[in-house]
Structure 1
């Protein structure tokens, strides 16, 4: 496998909520909580409102303009790209999985921006297969320290959006049915 799989993807519903939050609050960032007060919920903040630690790891960038199977034809503004972070120790434990950012009904946690929206972000995970792990083996990660020094990954040009979470991380042995 030559293609490096993204470490983070999002459902269309999660991207729509991020777009609404972006319109209300300006540029955004996400941090996958490490399990303290808010469990292990992905938390959404205005860009720069959460201090990234030196050892936090950038999982990837979600471009709010990319759709399912529709590569971008124009470069996105930096303010429309949402960095998704995870703590270093949590990355070590979960580096074999792809995080799928989803949205479910309910009240968001703590200081996360979606709290008043009636929805909350939810992390789902898909285990990388051997070929994907092999492709990721030589890819360096960007840490909070590297970010502070100006290191930036390329903004994605291919969609990081999945139609539904089940499309990215199906439950083995269960039939997937879609509500139309």
Structure 2
């Protein structure tokens, strides 16, 4: 399940949804804005439409060269967490499949993040990377 980062994993459903979105729209990224929600849902958008604001953080790299970015407030919430990007099982048709009117499947693609606390070893490794100057990503 893990792709390109020891801080972020991607389920098979989410990896397939990412691939379908990329086939439809070209390179995309996931962005988690600050929201008061118990179920954090990152938005997806084409890379060409993303302009990082001051404080936005690259949290990790996912499948298909996709990145997970988040606002400063969201990063503060998840700084000591491992995240798994998933697609709800009841999310309806997969991106790219036919729909019966309403929003197109890719417009309604829903991702969510499942979080767990980093272990002591993961925290130590993260702190070591930060001291080594490699930044917040990974």
Q: TM-score range by the shorter chain?
A: 0.7 to 0.9
Aligned length: 116
CA contact (8 A) 1:106 1:120 kept: yes
CA contact (8 A) 1:62 1:83 kept: yes
Q: For residues 116 and 99 of structure 1, do their structure 2 counterparts lie closer, same or farther at Cα, with a shift above 3 Å needed?
A: farther
CA contact (8 A) 2:14 2:87 kept: yes
**1:89-104 alignment, distance < 5 Å:** 89-104=73-88
2:45 alignment counterpart: 45
Displacement of 1:119 in angstroms is 4.6
Q: Taking structure 1 as the reference length, what is the TM-score of the superposition?
A: 0.57
Instruction: Give the CA RMSD over aligned residues.
Output: 2.5
Q: Taking structure 2 as the reference length, what is the TM-score of the superposition?
A: 0.73
| 1:31 maps to 2:15 | no
Q: Distance in 2 between matches of 1:57 and 1:10?
A: 19
Query: What runs of 5+ residues in structure 1 fail to find an aligned partner?
Result: 65-80, 108-114, 143-152, 155-180
Moved over 4 A (4+): none
Query: What runs of 5+ residues in structure 2 fail to find an aligned partner?
Result: 93-102
Question: For structure 1, which segment, 115-124 or 20-29, has the greater mean C-alpha deviation from structure 2 after superposition?
Answer: 115-124
